[in-house]
Amino acid sequence: MSRPGPRRRSVIIAILLTALALVSLEVRSGVVGAIGGGVREAFGLVSSGVSFIIRPVTGTIQGLTDARKLKAEIEELRTENERLSKEIRENAQLVREAKELRELRAVRESAESVEVAVARVVLASPNSLERVVTIDRGSSDGVKVGHAVLSPEGLAGIVEEVSPGTAIVRLITDNSSAVGVRVTRSGETGILKGTGRADGLLKLELVAPQAVDKGQVSSGDVLVTAGFTGGLYPPGIPVGQVITVDEGKRGGDANVFVRPAAGLSRLEFVSVVRPGSSERTARAEESE
Amino acid sequence: MRQWVVLAVTIVLALAISAEMALGLSVLRVGPDLALIVVALVAGSQAPEQAAGTGFAAGLLRDLLSASPAGTGAAAFALVAMGISIAGPRPGLGGYLTTVGAATLAVTFLHAVFAAVGGDTTSVSAVLRVALVGAAYNALLTPLLVPLLRRLSLAPEAV
């Protein structure tokens, strides 16, 4: 293999130096960040045209895969039904689940958040190493870095960057995502982290790991945002449900995996919220 | 000049379609990277410096649409495009598939390394999954893009 000539060596050095300069230019807050905002807004327009053509195609393909999923889901539901029937006979699980649902409804209603904007997801990152999307609302709509982003089912992510007309949202499934959560049944708290796993599950790191041994966290438990003081997320937003608790590693090292409540692979419309008393709730209380 | 404009429009459209496909058509949470396919196929018929420039521009645009530090993807794209150019064109479907597959693996690993240097780490298993699934996905889409790129005179004709 021949060694690169001086011209090629200088091209390689120029590439690396330019990249380094861009990275060290405080990429998002300075000039590069402003350019990025402009590019995303322009791409939002291109994307509208592209999605007009592509979405029917992707929708059809998704529909085909969904049909297979539905069949599998029917089978799963059948099994689940048998299991639940058995549990109803044993009269325990259903009572607990009903209580949990009531609690979830209560915390959802009491989620202390103010809606900043309703936005449409216009782009997903072409880089599969990260889980981020671009929404069509930005700083001119009141969206700020750190605002929480909700899907109709629950927490989707957090605003990472804003430009006047767009914002980048880091989804809770992203590797670097971390959300303070609370188990509705037991009140146990922990940090829910993105894992980058193919199945999209999140990992729960409990503040008190022994809670697993004490039965304070188990499969089926529902998690909501904890709303820690100084935290970014308003309290009481549904985040996910515990799917598996690694039985083999109990005693401090339990692996607790959680399925996000939000359907993050089919995000279309989202709500951007910030912590605070809901004006709507306040108005409703006043009128009562 | 016309060729550069055609190439720029093709890359922009490829990025927009990739972003759209990443929303609804990801496989194991990995979307296709049509811009990388275009860069990899075009680089074979460009001089190394031109290929590096094309790769850098496409990678930078991709960085600006994502949350990763601008410049990390650009450097990865530029080095890989330059490598493809130095290696020379590999016409024929087998050659295209190999080029795109290898380019996807190389870009994913390089991008992960550059991002890690910038403090944005990803688990090794996630990088491996994205690299392998991405390479297969991109290779699968390559036969669909080659005729289009040939029609636009962006990819070399098969020998």
**Tokens of residue A210, six digits:** 């022994």
Mean pLDDT confidence for A209-224: 81
- Closest CB from B49, B70, B118 relative to A11: B49
**Does the distance separating the beta carbons of B25 and A22 come in below 8 Å?**
no
Mean pLDDT of A145-155: 86
Alpha helices in B44-157, H assignment, sequence order: 48-64, 72-87, 93-117, 124-151
Instruction: State how far residue A97 is from chain B, nearest Cα, in angstroms.
Output: 31
Tell which residue, A149, A113, A128, has the closest CA to residue A260: A149
Task: Find the closest chain B residue to A121 by CA distance.
Answer: B23
Which residues lie below 8 Å from residue A90, measured CB to CB, with a gap of 6+?
none
* Between residues B85 and B1, the one the model is more confident about: B85
pLDDT at A28: 54
- The interface residues of chain B toward chain A in range 107-126, judged by CB-CB distance below 8 A, are 108, 111-112, 114-115, 118, 120-123, 125-126
Q: Rounded to 5 degrees, what are φ and ψ at A263? A: -80, 90
| Contact yes or no for A23 and B69 at CB 8 A | yes
pLDDT, tens digit, 9 for 90 and up, residues B11-28: 999 998 888 888 778 888
DSSP code string of A106-152: HHHHT--EEEEEEEEEEEE-S-TTS-EEEES--GGGT--TT-EEE-S
Q: Percent of chain A having pLDDT more than 90? A: 6
Size of interface A-B (CB pairs under 8 A): 182
Give me the pLDDT at residue B100, please: 93
CA–CA separation, A46 and A216 (whole Å): 49
pTM of the complete model: 0.74
Query: What average pLDDT does range A90-100 have in this prediction?
Result: 61
Beta pairing partners, A162: A167
Q: Which residues contact A214 (CB under 8 A, 6 or more apart)?
A: none
Q: Does A220 touch chain B (CB under 8 A)?
A: no
User: Which among B64, B72, B129 has the least Cβ separation from residue A19?
Assistant: B72
Neighbouring-strand partners of residue B13:
none
What is the amino acid identity at position B77?
F
Closest approach of B100 to chain A, Cα-based (Å): 16
- Dihedral angle, C-alpha A9, B87, B134, A55, nearest 10 °: 100
Please answer yes or no on whether A197 and B126 come within 8 Å at the CB atom. Answer: yes
Inter-chain contact A126–B66, Cβ cutoff 8 Å? yes
- Is residue A229 very low, low, confident or very high in pLDDT (cuts 50, 70, 90)? low
Mean of the pLDDT values across residues A122-137? 85
CA distances from A90 to A83, A85, A93 (A): 11, 9, 8
Q: Please tell me if residue B27 touches chain A, with a CB cutoff of 8 Å.
A: no
Q: What average pLDDT is seen over chain B?
A: 86
Chain A residues within an 8 Å CB radius of B126: 129, 175, 195-197
Query: What percentage of chain B exceeds 90 in pLDDT?
Result: 38
This complex has an ipTM of 0.76
pLDDT of residue B11: 92
Cβ under 8 Å to A: B residues 57-76 = 60-75
Q: Is the pLDDT reported for residue A262 higher than 80?
A: yes
